[in-house]
Amino acid sequence: MEAQRRRSSPWTAISAAAGVPLLLLLSATSIWSQTAAVAAGETTELQKHVAFFDSDHNGIISFSETYEGFRALGFGIISSTLSATFINGDLGLKTRPETATESLFSIYIENIHKGIHGSATGVYDSEGRFVQEKFDEIFTKHAKTVPDSLAPGEVDEMIRSNKQPEDYKGWLGASMEWSATFNLGVDKDGFLRKDTVRAVYNGSFFSNLASEKKVIYTRQKRPHARERQEGIEGECQQSTRLT
Ligand SMILES: *[C@@H]1O[C@H](CO)[C@@H](O)[C@H](O)[C@H]1NC(C)=O
């Protein structure tokens, strides 16, 4: 399965080489306006997207919460550290309220929309709300081989089509986010499906994947308990090796 997920393409190579699998959580400057403020107490889609990382539910994502979140999604120590450094370093500053007391590396979820970058899909609007038409457009425009599924080259093409002139930072952010999304979400046929991407946008994908990983990890730690369960494929060799 891992080999399947590592299937390479020009842009998956970018993040692999950089060792920085940043998620949609990442940022950069650009277009966001203060018009049409979100009603107080309303949770935006972008806030839901990042909520997985706020493990103590205090509205703030610390460096170590980002790190632990990436680890729980299956990333290694090095890429999780690099991701937390880039993401919290960048979004910590951008989302910081004037009255903030936490570390500069703390991300304030209430202001997460301030981290939205350029050359993005526009699926999150300037306030972080979900825009259905923009989401559908990704697939109507770019899913050419299999309906509602993106091949690696099609993701690449989409990223290029969203790139604004000279917005290298936004483009890099978008490339890394989609690379991470693809690597985590690719199906057995090598495609990124629309419902998977939808679940990444609302964040449910992360918690589901983390629970899946936890089950596998627990089975590896307790191979005898696992062996009693018939019909589970794949982990047998690994747990034997670990004992
Ligand atoms: C997120 O989207 C997925 C896929 O459409 C859906 O199954 C799930 O119920 C949604 N979850 C939330 C919390 O909105």
pLDDT attached to residue 16:
43
Q: Which of 194, 204, 207 to mutate to test the pocket of ligand 1 (most atoms within 8 A of CB)?
A: 204
Pocket test for ligand 1, best of 50, 198, 202 (most atoms within 8 A of CB): 202
Buried b (16+ CB within 10 A) or exposed e, 222-237: ebeebeeeeeeeebee
How far does the centroid of ligand 1 lie from the alpha carbon of residue 167, in Å?
Answer: 31
Phi-psi region of 57 (alpha: psi -120 to 50; beta: other; left: phi over 0): left
For residue 184, report the distance from its CA to the centre of ligand 1, in Å.
17
- Our answer on whether the CB atom of 195 is closer than 6 Å to any ligand 1 atom is yes
- Write the residue with the smallest CA distance to atom 11 of ligand 1: 204
Ligand 1 within 6 A of CB of 43: no
Question: Among 59, 115, 69, which residue's Cα sits nearest to residue 92?
Answer: 115
pLDDT value at residue 38 = 66
C-beta separation of 152 from 190 below 8 A? yes
Which of 62, 25, 49, 70 has the alpha carbon at shortest distance from 205?
49
In this prediction, residue 148 carries a pLDDT of 98
The answer, as to whether pTM is greater than 0.95, is: no
Sequence-ordered list of residues with C-beta below 8 angstroms from that of 107, at least 6 positions apart, any chain: 50, 60, 61, 62, 66, 87, 88, 91, 92, 95, 115
pLDDT in tens, the chain (243 residues): 444 444 445 444 444 444 444 444 443 333 333 344 566 678 999 999 999 999 999 999 999 999 999 999 999 999 999 999 999 999 999 999 999 998 999 999 999 999 999 999 999 999 999 999 999 999 999 999 999 999 999 999 999 999 999 999 999 999 989 999 999 999 999 999 999 999 999 999 999 999 999 888 777 776 665 444 444 444 444 433 443
pLDDT of residue 217: 74
Alpha-carbon distance of 191 to 171, in angstroms, equals 22
Question: For residue 223, how far is its CA from the centre of ligand 1 (angstroms)?
Answer: 33
What pLDDT, on a 0 to 100 scale, did the predictor assign at position 80?
95
